[in-house]
Amino acid sequence: MTATTFRRKSGSYWTYTLDGVPKIKGVTTMMKGLSGPPESYFTKYTAGHAVDNWDRLSQMPPSARLEEIAGATRQRFTEAAVRGTAVHKLAEALSKGEEVTVPDHLRGHTESCIAFLDDYDVQPVVTEAALFSRKHKYAGSADLFGTARKPHAQSVTRILMDWKTNVSGPWGSVAFQLAGYRYADFMLSGDAGKASEELPVPEVDECWCVWLRADGYDVYPMHTDETVYRQLLYIDQCRLADEECRNYKGDALPPPETVRKVRLADVTEEESTQ
């Protein structure tokens, strides 16, 4: 049993404590060492929002117009995050066979989730697994470990999978996220406030990213061997270096002319005392 290692819900996010040390980094935090989407991913959407709403925006005061245009991409990500959280909760419940109440605006995503679960005969072993690496001091929460049967296949596959709901589809970097989960040291049987113990991470044959949309779904097998896992650790080191390098710069040296004046003043003072 463990009381010093646990996971606790904080708003819509998880926080992790490992061996009594709080705020252990998550796998998604480790991935911040990546460059992220290209700049055009943000600028094109911002420009498109301005063009699509030109008539309405032109009637607004300049400061308000600027605020809306500048915040268009941020608003897009906020709405996507809210939708993603809601879909994840529905998907977790559906994968466990629970009944859910579906908001109208998420009906399409829910139907896509049900279709995937049925088409692949997904049987969950554990959902929202709390995973920890004591060796590398990180944690994370995996959407689902379980089994699946590919259409027209006879054998059952052990899978680790992650749901994605973003508009443009999953990025290849999801492989790093899944590798972090796959190669964690142990899994907890419960969360904060519950008796829990450290369990082995379920073994898997494949790691999948399942892209849920209002009009269907796609299943992407992700490459997550030990080489990919090692790359995740390198990415985390790049993130740390980027954060810490701001402390590596010392104060600027004084201009040479200033130094000479100080030396001359010292010499003059020494002569006057002789």
Q: Does residue 264 sit within a domain?
A: no
Res 253 pLDDT > 60: yes
Q: Does residue 78 sit within a domain?
A: no
Res 223 pLDDT > 60: yes
Q: Does residue 5 sit within a domain?
A: no
CATH of the domain at 117: 3.90.320
Tally of domains in the chain: 1
Q: Does residue 7 sit within a domain?
A: no
Of 103 and 79, the structure prediction assigns the larger pLDDT to 103
- pTM listed for this prediction: 0.81
Of 55 and 148, the structure prediction assigns the larger pLDDT to 148
DSSP secondary structure of 127-161: EEEEEEETTTTEEEEEEEEEEE--TT--S-EEEEE
- Full domain range(s) for residue 214: 16-34+101-245
Distance of CA 40 to the CA centre of its chain: 21
Q: Does residue 137 sit within a domain?
A: yes
Amino acid at site 10: S
